[in-house]
Structure formats: structure tokens, C-alpha cells
Structure 1
């Protein structure tokens, strides 16, 4: 396969992954019964939710598409430390997101007090703990990729759209991550959700936007 086709394949996979990763916006037009300002995005895919199967499927697709896109991108020539680090981090994000979809919550703790009580008492399936770990790995991979590939774009003079917009997206992503982590800590301490859902939705939306910019940048790059 030619270099151009490899680049286009990587870009297409990343773009499709970004689109699949935003499937949660369907909650705007489809009644889910969950408050988007208060609840985790992953609660849409909980085992007891009516549309859980749909959101688990889109998470699986997003993870596999991003994983494939990152691995294909690693085949491109001109590999340098920041690009290799970024693509590997993005592959981790994709793999962890796919795994996350196979480890759904059994119920929605931020929306269901009984579920929250069972979770606190350790009476929920082990998938709750596993889901927390896989979600943490996914977001760690995403943050590392966002930072590393944005640095690569600017340091190596490649991917012009990402080089221009990447720093702003990095700053916004870090701010959204701080908001989300603070809200999670408050919820676990029994002090309310502090708009946990809004913060996390902004966090994942920014990752999807960044993925879209990366895909366009890779597609437009010339040898």
C-alpha cells in the first residue's frame, strides 16, 4: 500500500472513530431518563438502561476504529519520538475504550440512590471496579495523545490544522478534566455532583473534536 493510501486510511479510521465517540449526543433527541448535567456518560451504557446496548456498541466501534487508526498511522514513515508516543497513547485510548464497552456498569449510581448505596457497600458486580480502571486508562491515553501529538505537530512542522488549533484544545481538555475529577471527588464524598455530567460530556466532546482535527490534518499532510 502506498504512503498516501496508508495516510488516508489512518485519517478515515480516526474520523469514523471520532464520530462514533460522539454517539452519546443522541440523548438530545432520544429520551434516556438520565440527566446529562448530573450523570456519567458511561451510565447511558449501563446494563439496566433501555438504550444501553446501543451505546455499548458505539463505544466498542469508537474504540476499535481509533485503535486501528493509530496502529495504521504507526506504519507511516518519518516516525519521531513525539509522534510515536502520541500514536501509542492513542492506541491505548482506543483499546481501553473498546474494553470499557465490554465492562458496563450494572446500574446508574448518580441517578439511582439504591445503586449508589449498593456501590458504596460493595454489593455491585466487579465490573464496576473494572469499568473505573478501563475508563481511567482510556482518558489517560487520550490526554497523553492530545498533548503528545499536538506537540509533534508544532515541533515538527506537520499537520497544520492541528498545529494551529491544538494548543487551545489541549488547554480546554485539561480544564474539562480538572472539572470532571473535582466533580467525581465531590460526588464520592457525598457532596453532590457539581454538574459532573456536563463536565465529563465536555471532556469527551473535546477529545472527539481533537480527533476530528487530527484526522483532517493527517489526510491533508503531504510527504
Structure 2
């Protein structure tokens, strides 16, 4: 479920083969799923699927994963709970899409700043923030727990730690770019930073799934 969730969460990559009209350098990933976008239904469905799969995988791990693979301590529980929160928030996020694409539509961004867009547009920002927070908590807690308890070496190894550090850097870039855009100072490569952010989450989920299946 975690591996399939990672694949579904990477569906945005197909934008390279679709005429979305959005710049991958400056646009939010979630703008692909906006209500006024031609492929919005595809990307919303992918996010819903990804969220439900990761939620189910995290809950299943909390209930049934053998303790010898990852001891059930406070840090591992927090990690799996973070992934469950990420999955649930991602599923909710897909049901609260943006109304339009603010980085590509001046009317949209004006309406956004004036508070004239539907409540679901603003709610999307909250659910997206919760999802990323859950992913970060899960990645940091489970990676450090794997290193602490000497289990799941492929997750605890240098590559797993590198993914976490890169994710923190990509998140910092994304937050700075969002702040710059909201202040009217351009996008600062917002699209690149956020795409790197979600790609790293997907790769880490795949690594976690591999570690569990191969018993490390």
C-alpha cells in the first residue's frame, strides 16, 4: 500500500506529456488539480488514491508490523501516525481543490488576495500544510527510529538520511518561495522546489516500503 501510494502520489510527473498550460518552474503542483484545469479530475483522483493508500498502509503498520522490524516505541508510533496524518490530509486535500491557478492567472490571484474565492480554495492551503507536516514528522521520526534501534538498514542508511535532509531543504525552499509569491516578489522557482518536495516524499515512501518487504 505504501509503494502504490508513492506511485499514485507521483502522478503529477505526467504533466510533462500533457498540455496543462502551467509552468513546472513557477506553478504549484496542486494547481494541476484546480477545478478550472483540463486534467484536474485526473490529478484529484490520483491524490485521493495516494492519500487513502498511505493512510491504510500506516494504520496497518501500527497494528500488524512485527516489533522486530521496528519496535513499537513512542517515536515509531509518532512516525506512523505522521504518515497516517499525511495520507488522511492528502485525501482531504483532493476534495478541497484550488478553484483556479493563481501563479498563471492574474484574475485568480487577485480574487485570492481579496478573499473572493470559495472557502474550499483557502481550505486547500490548510489541508496541504497539514499533509506536508505529517509527511515530515513521519520521515524524520521513522528514519531516526530505524537508526536508533538498528533495524531496517536500507531506511536507516545514508540514503534514507539523505532523503530526509533533502526534504527539509526542499520544504524550506518551498516555504520561502510561497512567501515571496504572496508578497508579490515573484515565484523564486516555486514549482521546482515544491516538485522536488513531493518527489522526495514519494521516493522515501518507496524506500520505506522496500525496507519493510525485504525486512531491512
| Structure-to-structure mapping, 1:154-193, within 5 angstroms | 154-164=147-157, 165-193=159-187
* Distance in 2 (alpha carbons) for counterparts of 1:159 and 1:77: 12
| Distance (Å, rounded) in 1 between the aligned partners of 2:28 and 2:42 | 16
Match of 1:147 among 122, 140, 147: 140
Alpha-carbon shift at residue 31 of structure 1 (Å): 1.4
Secondary structure of the 1:74 match is helix
> CA RMSD, aligned part only?
0.8
Please give the secondary structure, in 2, of the residue aligned with 1:204: helix
Which runs of 5 or more residues in structure 2 are unaligned? none
1:21 is displaced (CA, Å) by 0.2
State the aligned residue count.
210
1:94-113 alignment runs, 5 A limit: 94-113=87-106
Runs of 4+ that moved beyond 2 A: none
The Cα of 1:54 is off from its aligned counterpart by 0.3
Shift of 1:77: 3.8
Whole-angstrom distance in 1 between the partners of 2:145 and 2:8: 25
TM-score calculated relative to the size of structure 1: 0.93
- Partners of 2:5 and 2:93 lie apart in 1 by 15
Give the deviation of 1:221 after TM superposition: 1.1
TM-score normalised by the chain length of structure 2: 0.96
Distance in 2 between residues matched to 1:33 and 1:114, nearest whole Å: 16
2:22 maps to which of 34, 39, 42: 34
1:81 corresponds in structure 2 to 74
Q: Which range is displaced more, 69-78 or 41-50?
A: 69-78
* Deviation, structure 1 residue 74: 0.4
Equivalent residue in structure 2 for 1:67, among 46, 51, 55: 55
